[in-house]
């Protein structure tokens, strides 16, 4: 089973700032089969990025993804108030398809 470790656990930033979230896999994720999701309180996760760097429909370009192999990054430039939420990475390379434990992005 691929274990995804996200860091930091909590990130405190101000609106207008830049957020860098990390997702590290316990073994290589081939074909960059990694997705990022955003979850707000009381809501279901929402797909942000797939294939590590492709934005889902309707996702603003301030969200970007990078990385390969075992290290992946979600970057949010110019934080908007609605961006403060919990972010999860998920690998779909190998079954069982696993999620990271999440990074909470909170307002400083």
Partner 1 sequence: QVQLQESGPGLVKPSETLSLTCTVSGDSVSSNSFYWGWIRQTPGKGLEWIASMHYGGTTYYNPSLKSRVTVSVDTSKNQFSLKLSSVTAADTAVYYCARRRSLAGRPLWFDPWGQGTQVTVSS
**Backbone CA torsion sign across 10, 14, 15, 17:** negative
Beta-sheet pairing, 103-107 with 86-91 = antiparallel
Give the pair of three-digit tokens for residue 85.
């939420």
Smallest distance from partner 1 to CB 13, Å:
22
Taking the C-alpha atoms of residue 101 and residue 86, their distance in angstroms, rounded to an integer, is: 10
Q: By C-beta, is 55 or 62 nearer to partner 1?
A: 55
Q: Does 47 bind partner 1 (CB under 8 A)?
A: yes
Nearest one of 86, 105, 96, 97 to 43, comparing CA atoms: 86
Q: Does 43 bind partner 1 (CB under 8 A)?
A: yes
Interface with partner 1 by CB under 8 A: which range of 16-24, 61-69, 75-83, 89-97? Answer: 89-97
Smallest distance from partner 1 to CB 67, Å:
16
Q: By C-beta, is 79 or 90 nearer to partner 1?
A: 90
Taking the C-alpha atoms of residue 41 and residue 77, their distance in angstroms, rounded to an integer, is: 22
Chain residues binding partner 1 by CB under 8 A are 33, 35, 37, 43-47, 50, 56, 88, 90, 92, 95-102
């Amino acid at each position: 089973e691929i274990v995804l470790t996200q860091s930091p656990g909590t990130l405190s930033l101000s609106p207008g700032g830049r957020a860098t979230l990390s997702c590290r896999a316990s073994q290589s994720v081939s074909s960059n089969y990694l997705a990022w999701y955003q979850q707000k309180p009381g809501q279901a996760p929402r797909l942000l990025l797939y294939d590590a760097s492709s934005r889902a429909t309707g996702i603003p370009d301030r969200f970007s993804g990078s990385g390969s192999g075992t290290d992946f990054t979600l970057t949010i430039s110019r934080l908007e108030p609605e961006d403060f939420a919990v972010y999860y990475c998920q690998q779909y390379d190998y079954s069982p398809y696993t999620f990271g434990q999440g990074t909470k992005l909170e307002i400083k």
